[in-house]
Amino acid sequence: MNPVVSAPRIYNWDDRKGAQPLDPALDGLVKDIIGKVADKWTMLILEALADHGTLRFSDVGRKVGDISQKMLTKTLRQMEEDGLVQRVVHPVIPPHVDYSLTEMGGSLGGAFCGVWLWAEAHHAQIEASRKAFAARNAAV
Amino acid sequence: MNPVVSAPRIYNWDDRKGAQPLDPALDGLVKDIIGKVADKWTMLILEALADHGTLRFSDVGRKVGDISQKMLTKTLRQMEEDGLVQRVVHPVIPPHVDYSLTEMGGSLGGAFCGVWLWAEAHHAQIEASRKAFAARNAAV
DNA sequence: CTGGATCCGGTTTGATACTG
DNA sequence: CAGTATCAAACCGGATCCAG
């Protein structure tokens, strides 16, 4: 029984395991955070703000792409609550609300950059996998 | 400072910005991948498999924690389709299905490790932010 | 007995319309 | 412009059923 995944990797999960004792409570807390942070819209908004610095409400939506106002509002609120974004309201008419990453949000953006680079590096391979999967499925 | 153990790699958004010509088609494709990969269960399953190498269906669910069989099946299928996990069926009774990360899945795990470290490093700060947010909201 | 497909109830999401 | 309100649709989880 070989417990080792053979692939050579840049990062190693053992780094994480070794650095932290396996505390169940902490583990649950971290999983909760991952569960909230590992969200489609959260990522996309994070990237938009990391890329452009400060954006108004509508501009965030425009940079993200296909997002409804509802999800934009909701996700932005959630990110504000978690301390990832800072929301500044200018009491003028018409309303003007600026969103930008906090320092913590910026650091998350940095951590996520690895995933972004991964996506760019592997998108062709992913599409190939999907085609192969579809063919395998159709072959039945 | 963060105990980020990344080797010679510095994660910086500028890397991405500088390296990528602004191709709208590619951008949409990458966003689509991020949208699929940035999923709570995908991440949690990815970690479980990266951590333990090879797991049976039920064991994956146990390592992940609170996941329904339905989501487990669905997410594993999706990950298999995208080429992140390999599914091996042993035609025995009782049934026995092994799941493990492909090389591409392992590389995603590596890229995502930075996010995990971030979550561990900032969970206290996040909770503080939530409390502050709640207090701010209640003060109104 | 395990992997997974199906049906049902509650929650989340999305499209549209409306307000300050 | 920056949201809120509302309703339909899609989704998620749980229980159940099925196949090997």
**DSSP code string of A26-63:** HHHHHHHHHHHHS-HHHHHHHHHHHHHSEEEHHHHHHH
Domain membership of residue B2 (yes or no) is no
Domain membership of residue A13 (yes or no) is no
B47, closest residue in chain A (CA to CA): A13
Return contacts of A13-21, CB within 8 angstroms, 24+ apart.
Answer: A13/B47, A13/B50, A13/B51, A13/B109, A13/B113, A15/B5, A15/B113, A16/B113, A16/B116, A16/B117, A16/B120, A17/B51, A19/B3, A19/B5, A20/B120
Q: Which residue in B5, B83, B102, B103 sits closest to B37, CA to CA? A: B83
HSE on the CB side for A94, CA within 13 Å? 3
Domain membership of residue B8 (yes or no) is no
Domain membership of residue A32 (yes or no) is yes
How many CB contacts within 8 angstroms connect chain A with chain B? 204
Give the nucleotide with minimal C1' distance to the Cα of A67: C14
pLDDT of residue A25: 78
A123:B80 CB<8 A: no
Domain that holds residue B42: 22-138
Domain membership of residue B7 (yes or no) is no
The CATH code of the domain that includes B103 is 1.10.10.10
Domain membership of residue B61 (yes or no) is yes
Tens-digit pLDDT profile for residues A100-126? 999 999 999 999 999 999 999 999 999
Q: State the nearest residue by CA to the C1' of C5.
A: B70
Rounded CA separation B2/A135 (Å): 45
pLDDT of A27 above 90: no
Domain membership of residue A61 (yes or no) is yes
Q: How many separate domains does chain A show?
A: 1
B126:A34 CB<8 A: no
Q: Which residue in B35, B66, B70, B63 sits closest to B47, CA to CA? A: B63
A23 pLDDT tier (thresholds 50, 70, 90): confident
When mean pLDDT is compared across A39-43, B2-6, B9-13, the lowest value belongs to: B2-6
pLDDT of residue A32: 87
Domain membership of residue B13 (yes or no) is no
